[in-house]
Amino acid sequence: MNRIGIVIEGESDQKIIKVMVKKLGISPEPKIVQSNDKGNLLKGGWKGFVYGRIGDDCSKKIILVDYDTDDALNCDFRKKLENEVTDEKVIIHFAKRAIESWLLGCFDEKNPDNLPDPMEEIKKIFRGKYGAKRRYNKTADGKQIAEKNELKHFKASESFRKFEEILRDD
């Protein structure tokens, strides 16, 4: 079977990824599991998600996490995870900054991966659009943004294009 398994951080990521893989026409539908925090992937925690929750019914296994910032803490996390995941069949992919950077192309952002804080950018867009009446809700609004837009918008993000390549690569 050529099913894909994807480990993501949280509920909002899961909802956004489900919409995106559907738009990409990935079939069968990937099995997506939440780690609930990227810290849960360290100290061998990734094995429980990849081998336990995703299991053998997926021929390709991807760990998708936000890279957040270039600070020492995130660089250290990245190095630790890359050193721990020694199984060559498990692919680690970092969304540059955050999965929200993939959504910013929907607002005509030309290079969303280079923004220091994509989440803050989306919050600013919402404040400009709705004022104080409504705040950005990552879980509900992220999915709606993904649903209402075309693939070309997500492809403004280089890390999204790389993720698509990973999904499609046999």
Separation of first and last alpha carbons in the chain = 12
pTM for the whole structure: 0.89
Domain count, the chain: 1
pLDDT score of 109: 87
| Among the listed residues 72, 73, 71, 137, the one whose alpha carbon sits nearest the alpha carbon of residue 103 | 137
Each residue's pLDDT tens digit, 85-128: 988 889 999 888 788 899 998 898 888 988 888 889 999 988 88
pLDDT band at 167 (very low <50, low <70, confident <90, very high): very high
**Rounded mean pLDDT of the chain?**
87
Distance CA 155, CA 113 (A): 11
Instruction: Residue 130: give the domain boundaries.
Output: 4-168
Q: Higher-confidence residue: 37 or 48?
A: 48
Yes or no: say if 57 and 1 are a contact pair by the CB < 8 Å rule. yes
Burial category of 105 from C-beta neighbours within 10 Å (exposed 0-12, middle 13-18, buried 19 and up): buried
